């Protein structure tokens, strides 16, 4: 990689907005694809995203904005994906294997592609023939809202190609962002999916009325569940206590900005899944992720009582109070 490499951000939501903000600190040009032309016109004129993190003001002289995905992809060397996993396949439907030839793809998506039950890195590897060494993951612990406020935050950039990871890390690193690199693309990505599931569990328990004492037990069991699953799916030497795993779990399970915790809290208070989704008007990745993990785990058969409880509540429509009461006897 070299300083002249072109970077494109794919997506128009809060994470995409936060990543563009970070990149503008270090890059001369940032390509940005947003599907909605009205939103693009607003950004060009008023220098902020009208729908997400509206306080972030952009230096639009650095932004190359387009609603033409093929054009954006063709001009970039590195693509940072920030489209919710449930909509990723549809967003990319006009692209072919040839469009991704020689591209590096980094995923800032914390979910699984539902139609394939694949984490995002595996999806690009199998569907677009991108070598694993050209695939990376951008993970937390980091909420987009705190990036917007320029509060000190940490990111982990994972790739099997250290040069690629270091380059992307250097482009995101700034006064309020510190970066670390890792080679664990599978573990960090699966962990990012699971922490959303456990944040839903945390929210459900809060909505029902469980207190901080139980939350501590829930989350300490959750990190053990993450470790058990990722060690079976991709067994390598990793420190599950590091920020990319434990830190990301903690911030997602406890933060006021966690949309998955918010979603779970509404379910715990008696909202239906559908009404909670409509009320939030945001995507809770854990809703899709828990079903995919449930399906994937049919093969691996890892003991995952918290994941199973969230699945039973969200998809089998079992009473949150009853399911969580049963869960309390399975935790230690």
Which of the residues 104, 195, 241, 299 is marked catalytic? 195
| DSSP of 8-73 | EEE--SHHHHHHHHHHHTT-S-EEEE-S-HHHHHHHHHHSS-SSS-TT----TTSEEEES-HHHHH
Please report, for the chain, the start and end positions of each structural domain, with discontinuous segments joined by +: 7-183, 187-328
pLDDT digits (tens, 9 = 90+) for 50-82: 999 999 999 999 999 999 999 999 999 999 999
What value does the mean pLDDT of the chain take? 96
Non-local CB neighbours of 169 within 8 Å, separated by 6+ positions: 155, 157, 179, 180, 181
Res. 320 pLDDT band, cuts 50 70 90: very high
pLDDT digits (tens, 9 = 90+) for 78-120: 999 999 999 999 999 999 999 999 999 999 999 999 989 999 9
Question: Residue 28's pLDDT is what?
Answer: 87
Per CATH, the number for 7-183 is 3.40.50.720
Look up 195 and say whether it is catalytic: yes
Q: Which architecture does CATH list for 187-328?
A: Orthogonal Bundle (1.10)
CA nearest to 140, candidates 162, 103, 114, 172: 172
Separation between Cα atoms, residue 130 and residue 135, nearest integer Å: 7
Kindly report the pTM of this predicted structure. Answer: 0.95
Taking the chain, what is the end-to-end CA distance rounded to the nearest angstrom?
A: 47
Question: Residue 128's pLDDT is what?
Answer: 98
């Amino acid at each position: 990689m070299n300083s002249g490499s072109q970077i494109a951000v794919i997506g128009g939501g809060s994470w995409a907005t936060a990543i563009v903000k970070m990149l503008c600190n270090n890059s001369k040009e940032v390509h940005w694809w947003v599907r909605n032309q009205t939103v693009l016109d607003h950004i060009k004129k008023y220098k902020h995203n009208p729908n997400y993190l509206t306080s972030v003001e952009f230096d639009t002289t650095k932004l190359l904005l387009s609603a033409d995905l093929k054009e954006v992809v063709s001009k970039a060397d590195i693509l940072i994906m920030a489209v919710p996993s449930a909509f990723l396949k549809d967003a990319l439907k006009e692209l072919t294997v040839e469009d991704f030839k020689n591209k590096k793809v980094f995923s800032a998506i914390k979910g699984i592609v539902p139609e394939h039950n694949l984490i995002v890195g595996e999806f690009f590897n199998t569907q677009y023939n991108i070598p694993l060494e050209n695939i990376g993951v951008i993970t937390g612990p980091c909420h987009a809202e705190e990036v917007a406020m320029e509060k000190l935050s940490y990111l982990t950039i994972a790739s099997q190609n250290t040069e690629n990871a270091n380059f992307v890390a250097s482009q995101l690193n700034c006064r309020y962002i510190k970066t670390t690199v890792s080679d664990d693309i599978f573990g960090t990505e699966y962990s990012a999916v699971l922490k959303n599931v456990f944040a839903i569990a945390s929210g459900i328990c809060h909505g029902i009325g469980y207190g901080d004492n139980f939350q501590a037990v829930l989350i300490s069991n959750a990190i053990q569940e993450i470790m058990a699953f990722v060690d079976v799916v991709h067994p390598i030497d990793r420190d599950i206590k590091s920020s990319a795993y434990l830190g990301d779990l903690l911030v997602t399970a406890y933060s006021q900005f966690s949309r998955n915790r918010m979603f779970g809290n509404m379910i715990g208070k008696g909202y239906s899944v559908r009404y909670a989704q409509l009320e939030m008007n945001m995507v809770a990745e854990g809703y899709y992720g828990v079903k995919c993990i449930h399906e994937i785990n049919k093969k691996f058969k890892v003991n995952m009582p918290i994941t199973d409880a969230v699945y039973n509540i969200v998809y089998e429509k079992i009473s949150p109070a009853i399911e969580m009461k049963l869960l309390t006897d399975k935790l230690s």
